[in-house]
Structure 1
Amino acid sequence: MSNNPENPSRAIKVPHPHDNDEAIALPSDVAGSGTLDLLVKTAQDYSKHATSENTRKAYARDWAHFSRWCRRHGADPVGPAPCPDLQLIGLYLTALAGSADNTAFGVSSFSVSTIERRLSGLSWNYAQRGFTLDRRDRHIATVLAGIKRKHARPPVQKEAILPEEIIAMVTTLPFDLRGLRDRSILLLGFAGGLRRSEIVSLDAGKDDTPDSRGWVEILEYGALLTLNTKTGWREVEIGRGSSEQTCPVHALEQWLHFSRIDFGPIFVRISRSGKRVMESRLNDRHVARLVKKTILDANIRPELPEKDRLALFSGHSLRAGLASSAEVDERYVQKQLGHASAEMTRRYQRRRDRFRVNLTKAAGL
């Protein structure tokens, strides 16, 4: 966007959504000082942590997608102050639902969930620029409601990894440093019902590193994980298993012992030779790649082509695996996964004992 001095409504400075130095600053009528400048810097740092890194990256992609679409049609993605062009956004949502425009992105139409996510991304980006996107406006609300009514489909969920499958997967791993680390990742992620970001963000102790999102205490009866998640702080108890070969706590102890990690990130990179532990924390994408690799190595679902098997499973399959396999009261699974409602937990339960409660018979029919 170019600022036009002849049009005051267009002459505003539009900060980049990640440019916190521009978005958060001292008021123009307040003189700076060492103390105030330090507070501004601290506020900028807090702003960066208001959303997760993955969310910020997704919202940046949403804005880039919208901006490209606007440029192709000769439109300004920001629009005049004090609010964005809601009619333009309604047309954009319509285009996402199915138009020739999408061929440039390799698809004919986007799913309803993707369209909703893109709208959330636009709302966030506009907010960073000082605009308010009113999602209740008829140009957005009625278009989105019509898209949902016409195109909504059941959500596509990743397949859950079942107990016999996770056991087969870990048996494909060697007992070198890399194998010990990856075995611990798989078993801990499954038994804890953890998100992949929660796995790799663990530290050996509290406040070891600035980017830590939790730490681990190994106790007599299991491991206690203290996690700082998107829903707040929570504790996850991971008990010891019935066999050392499949016990997540034993696997973690073995990895920590041979890697000699007692401070900082638990799951770190390993040198190409496989003989040296590095200091840098693993990226959460490693968990997804590890799941897919061991699914193939263990020959899980051999009746399906390799491409279909890779598409079925992801890092989230570990979390869904615990929810689908634990034969306990649902409230314990809900607590372990950190869900606010039982309904959310049920979405993760790919294999439930359906019709265990027969309300038809209970009603006398």
Structure 2
Amino acid sequence: MSAKAQHPKSIDDAAHDNIAVPAHVAGSGRLDRLVETARSYAEKSASENTLRAYARDWAHFSRWCRLKGTEPLPPSPEMIGLYLADLAAPSDGSPALTVSTIDRRLSGLSWNYAQRGMTLDRRNRHVAAVLAGIKREHARPPVQKAAILPQDIIAMVATLPYDLRGLRDRAILLLGYAGGLRRSEIVSLDVGKDDTPDSKGWIDLFEDGALLMLNAKTGWREVEIGRGSSDRTCPVHALEQWLHFARIEFGPIFVRTTRDGKRALPARLNDRHIARLVKKTVLDAGLRPDLPEAERLALFSGHSLRAGLASSAEVDERHVQKHLGHASAEMTRRYQRRRDRFRINLTRAAGL
């Protein structure tokens, strides 16, 4: 097997190779600088989490190919169809993947091939027919994370201490809940516009609340977060307390702290901290005591904050849709765990 097959190019290497001056165009210093600029933009075409997932997808498929005595390049619909089948019904006794994970793996392979200037035809019968059969045989209704309701978030923040780390985590939970924010949106916020290169937004504080400018999955959007009914549960007050005592005036808003929780460090928090924080405070607050601890941990995640706002805000659905940055009302309804069912009765409307 060739060295190229054994060590397929990384995503970054493939993206770099595919962005260059055309062979028939004479190179120049100015064009070379434009190539580097274009490559820099290409590297920002997807979020870091997405790129990490795609890299894992490619590494897994490449290893699978080597074990089967074949190569991942160029794309072979026949082999990819067999790969999908092995994911759904593993021949080595390992656990089968869910349909959504298999679909995501296929998207990851398509993206990786595109970065290498190749096309994976997902409509090819060797791919499409196998995937359709897997969905028909194994598809299940989506498992949704539980929504954190108002009484839940109040109980969760009550478990946090009032040292610097507690102030930070209280601001994270309340701001994430009131803003209906994704984990990545929370940790990517800066104090001001253009404070750091990796920022995805900033916050302006006003007397009546906070205005967030977010560069999210669907593009730029504004999120208004009004002040709460008391300082104990107000997300804006919690944010102001954290910024004041952590002495943060520039750069990332949510940063790491020292082990003793008494001093803020410059490094931006990783979004995995949000998931760990939610799970820890859910356990500490004693939510869902009817379930074993493992099930409680699996039931809640960082996304539970976003679902909680959508489920609890008693306002017109259009306002919730705008607040969450959803392109359609149908997507917003997927987040509403307590949405009134059968409010519109078409059976009776049809005369039955």
* Superposed pair shares fold, TM > 0.5: yes
Following superposition, the deviation at residue 23 of structure 1 comes to: 3.2
Q: Which residue of 2 aligns with 1:238?
A: 225
Following superposition, the deviation at residue 315 of structure 1 comes to: 0.4
- Give me the TM-score of the superposition, normalised by structure 1: 0.92
Q: Which residue of 2 aligns with 1:288?
A: 275
Q: 2:81 aligns with which of 90, 93, 96?
A: 90
Is it true that 1:127 corresponds to 2:114 in the alignment? yes
Following superposition, the deviation at residue 36 of structure 1 comes to: 2.2
Q: Which residue of 2 aligns with 1:147?
A: 134
Q: 1:250 aligns with which of 204, 226, 237?
A: 237
Q: Equivalent residues in 2 for 1:192-341 (5 A)?
A: 192-341=179-328
Following superposition, the deviation at residue 14 of structure 1 comes to: 6.6
Q: Which residue of 2 aligns with 1:357?
A: 344
Is it true that 1:18 corresponds to 2:9 in the alignment? no
Is it true that 1:2 corresponds to 2:2 in the alignment? yes
Q: Which residue of 2 aligns with 1:7?
A: none
Following superposition, the deviation at residue 27 of structure 1 comes to: 3.4
Is it true that 1:184 corresponds to 2:171 in the alignment? yes
1:58 aligned counterpart, secondary structure: helix
Q: Which residue of 1 aligns with 2:65?
A: 70
- In structure 1, C-alpha distance between the alignment counterparts of 2:301 and 2:52, rounded to whole Å: 19
- In structure 2, C-alpha distance between the alignment counterparts of 1:264 and 1:92, rounded to whole Å: 45
Q: How many residues align?
A: 350
1:195-251, CA deviations, whole angstroms, 9 ceiling, x for partnerless residues? Answer: 000000000011111000000011121110000011110000111111111111111
- In structure 1, C-alpha distance between the alignment counterparts of 2:343 and 2:285, rounded to whole Å: 32
Q: Which residue of 2 aligns with 1:43?
A: 38
- In structure 1, C-alpha distance between the alignment counterparts of 2:139 and 2:271, rounded to whole Å: 30
Task: Give the % identical residues.
Answer: 73
Contact 1:268-1:277 at 8 Å conserved across structures: yes
Q: Which residue of 2 aligns with 1:33?
A: 28
1:100 aligned counterpart, secondary structure: coil
Contact 1:15-1:22 at 8 Å conserved across structures: no
Residue identity in the other structure for 2:11: P
**More deviation, 16-25/138-147:** 16-25
1:18 aligned counterpart, secondary structure: helix
1:169-220, CA deviations, whole angstroms, 9 ceiling, x for partnerless residues? Answer: 0000011110010000000000100000000000001111100000001112
Contact 1:206-1:214 at 8 Å conserved across structures: yes
Where structure 1 has 5 or more consecutive residues not aligned to the other structure, the ranges are 5-9
2:12 aligned counterpart, secondary structure: coil
Cα RMSD between the aligned structures? Answer: 1.7
- In structure 2, C-alpha distance between the alignment counterparts of 1:235 and 1:224, rounded to whole Å: 7
Q: Which residue of 2 aligns with 1:175?
A: 162
Where structure 2 has 5 or more consecutive residues not aligned to the other structure, the ranges are none
Residue identity in the other structure for 1:279: P
- Give me the TM-score of the superposition, normalised by structure 2: 0.95
- In structure 2, C-alpha distance between the alignment counterparts of 1:363 and 1:219, rounded to whole Å: 51
1:7-59, CA deviations, whole angstroms, 9 ceiling, x for partnerless residues? Answer: xxx9xx97432214333233345454332222121111101100111101000
Following superposition, the deviation at residue 115 of structure 1 comes to: 0.8
- In structure 2, C-alpha distance between the alignment counterparts of 1:25 and 1:3, rounded to whole Å: 24
